[in-house]
Amino acid sequence: MKSCPQCNLRYPSDSTTCFLDGQALTHLRDPWLSGTIAGRYVLDELIGIGGMASVYRARILLSDQTCAVKLLNPQLAVDDTTRERFRREAKHAQRLSHPNIIEIFDQGDASDGTPFLVMELLEGQSLSELIAAGPTPLERALPIIVQMTRALARAHDFEVIHRDLKPENVYLLRGDRVKLLDFGIARCNQDVRLTSAGEVFGTPEYMAPERATSSDAGPAADLYALGVIMFEMLTQKLPFDAPTPAGILSKHMVEPPPRLREYMPDLPALLEQLILDLLAKSPDARPVDAHQVLAVLSEIAAQEKIAIEPEGDRASEQPLRRLSSTPTQRWVRRTELVEKLVREVYGELPPPEAMATLRVMKACANELAALRQRGIAEQTSLDRMHREWKEGRVQQGKAMDELTIHVSKVREEARVLRAGVIPLSKKSKSFLPRVREAHQKARFWEGRSGFQEPYRELSLAYRDLADIIDLWHDARHAEIEVEAAAVEKERQAAEIDQQIREMRHNLVVADRSMEDLKVKHLEVIADVGQRADLLELELMRHCGRLCNPMRERADFSSLASEFTY
């Protein structure tokens, strides 16, 4: 594929000059900029290159809506496991459907088999750029942290663990609206087959101690990474740093985190304690889940009088876009312009070969217009279906939030009760030696008295034994009560967990049904797009054949200005 350096029209590879301005055509350096992806996405500009993928600014062919297209790098596309991890990013982000998680609209394979993702185009900066500028004031940091935690809460509610939470994967839009990115190495319960034994993914600076020795770390590992990011945002320092990855991991495993108030004496004590809790070495010692973290953050915000925007889905409020018919008629209009110029040049009797070419162009343009209209109809149906699915997802997400917030509180209550059983059990057991000792003393005086003489020491021994048994009874009863309360809370949590599992299962079934319907529309759009691409190239060839001989005419420039519109 070639393009004109002056007007940017794209031409077939066998073309040499632009029929509008006579400029020599140049080969496009990036082959992805030469056409459409899956017949529906036009790539306009490379905006990012990473070790795994490249990201392009793009637009949807039938609507001109801007988007971003992420393409797996060719050297990685041959590996099935890497391809599946790449696709998993779309799967996870789509199933979560949260305002603080990047929205992925589509996924598939390009004509050469390269996997691609289509996502919302973000404009702003990464959290790492904000941190590089200096410590983040608490009044700015806290709302950002709350949004990150909300995103994690939604991911964990749907059994998705990010596994590479770091500032580079947190994007800030205008107004510090957070988008959590890159679920490429994320994991859920169904992803075990994608991680080989001994494989460890992530970034050492943000990796929980258990991640260094196991790939099976749970949601608590993400909470640990959140604690590291919170520490770094507020101080512009990492809690653990070393010259080598191994050194960093070692510090995560054995060194206690530094106290934040050494750097920020005015930091709220509750916030410092929350970060230290998140950085606990044992997963069980960290907050029970992201919802508990949110509860503490809300308390801190209230104490510090920092406004936190309510959680909502702004995207769900956007109206369904109307697709323009302009692209469908573009070549009909262009063909009319070329015919007008031909008749002005040749009069009422143009050469037969010119008229034959015009007839072919009209047929191609009309077919192209019909194809584009069909594509628009399919895209409109797809957009409406996606909108309804997303609205349903938002409502289901809210219902899930209610259940998970409830179960979070119940789990924390159960954990507190279970922790309270331990000292009560120790106290109850501590009475056993005293009971045995008092009992032996009573038996001694029983022997001395032989129940023949009323020794006062015997009555005192009985009273002492009775008093100790009363204390033992009270302690044991308290232990049994707390144990029963803990068991009841655990039963309630298990019951809510079952409701959550059923909801997740129903969502998976609904998603599969949605995907089946979506595939049918996408196949039609792709077929239409591929045929339309071929027709456009054919029309460009015919235009060149007709227009090159007429380019020197004075009125040709008016055609050029209208043609590129």
Q: Among 202, 228, 225, 229, which Cα is nearest to 213's?
A: 202
Residue 98 and residue 397 in contact, taking contact as beta carbons nearer than 8 Å? yes
- Which one from 106, 157, 164, 222 is the annotated catalytic residue? 164
DSSP letter string, 487-507: HHHHHHHHHHHHHHHHHHHHH
The CB-based long-range contact list for 70-79 (8 Å cut-off, 24+ gap) reads 70/116, 70/117, 70/118, 70/119, 71/32, 71/37, 71/110, 71/114, 71/115, 71/116, 72/114, 72/115, 72/116, 74/114, 76/52, 77/113, 77/114, 77/115
* Helical pair 556-563 and 326-346, crossing angle rounded to 10 deg: 170
Distance CA 123, CA 137 (A): 23
Residue 21 and residue 6 in contact, taking contact as beta carbons nearer than 8 Å? yes
Residue 21 and residue 544 in contact, taking contact as beta carbons nearer than 8 Å? no
Residue in this structure with the two tokens 């599969």, named with its chain if needed = 512
Residue 99 exposure: Cα atoms within 13 Å on the Cβ side: 20
Residue 318 and residue 438 in contact, taking contact as beta carbons nearer than 8 Å? no
Q: What is the CA radius of gyration of the chain?
A: 35
Q: What is the phi-psi region of residue 124: left when phi exceeds 0, alpha when psi lies from -120 to 50, beta otherwise?
A: left
Q: Among 539, 540, 549, which Cα is nearest to 341's?
A: 549
Q: What is the phi-psi region of residue 399: left when phi exceeds 0, alpha when psi lies from -120 to 50, beta otherwise?
A: alpha
Q: Among 479, 475, 473, which Cα is nearest to 419's?
A: 479
Q: Record the tokens describing residue 87, joined without a space.
A: 């696709």
Residues 6+ apart with CB under 8 A from 406: 496
Residues 6+ apart with CB under 8 A from 360: 542
| 3 state DSSP class of 56 | strand
Helical segments of 236-351, H only: 245-254, 269-278, 290-304, 326-346
User: What is the 3 state secondary structure string of 358-372?
Assistant: HHHHHHHHHHHHHHH
Residue 56 and residue 46 in contact, taking contact as beta carbons nearer than 8 Å? yes
Whether 164 is catalytic: yes
| 3 state DSSP class of 49 | strand
* Phi, psi angle pair for 305, to nearest 5°: 55, 45
Q: Record the tokens describing residue 416, joined without a space.
A: 């507190």
Element at 71 (helix H, strand E)? strand 66-72
Indicate which residues carry an active-site annotation: 164
